[in-house]
Amino acid sequence: MTPDQRKAAVAAYKERKTPAGIFAVTCAATGERWIGCAPDLDKIQNRLWFTLRQGGHRRGGLQAAWTAHGADAFSLEVLETFDEETLAYVRDRAFAERQAHWCAVHGAEAI
C-alpha cells in the first residue's frame, strides 16, 4: 500500500458513518435481557463478547449467565438507532431516556 493509498484509507475510515443506538442482549436459555446503549453499534457485540469471555463484565448477572450458558446462548439485537446528526451531549441524554424506556418495556436490566 502506498502512502497516498494509506492516507485515503485512513480518511475514509474516519469519515464513515457509525450508527449509535440502543441494543438488547438476550440469553436464550433463561430468557433474561439486558439493555444497553452504544455510540457505535457496529462494534458493541465484539466488545461485549470479549469482556464476557474474559470474565470481567461489570454486570454480575450478565456475567453469571454467560458463564453458565456460554456464548451460543446469547444474541444481540438492535432496538433503536439514533440520527447521526444528533449532537453528543443531546445523544447522551437521549441514550439514558430511551434505555430506561426499553428496560421498562422488556423488564430488563440496564448494562
pLDDT in tens, the chain (111 residues): 898 888 888 887 777 777 889 999 999 999 999 999 998 898 999 999 999 999 989 998 999 999 999 999 999 999 999 877 766 778 788 889 999 999 999 999 999
What three-state secondary structure class fits 99? helix
CATH 1.10.287.70 fits 18-110, yes or no: no
Q: Which one, of 99, 111, 21, 20, lies nearest residue 66 by Cα? A: 111
Q: How far is CA 32 from the centre of its chain?
A: 16
Distances (CA, A) of 42 to 4, 23, 60: 27, 11, 24
Ordered by start, the domain boundaries in the chain are 18-110
Residue 47 C-alpha cell reads as 466488545
Q: What is the DSSP string of 64-97?
A: HHHHHH-GGGEEEEEEEEE-TTS-HHHHHHHHHH
Residues 61 and 58: their CA atoms lie apart, in Å, by 9
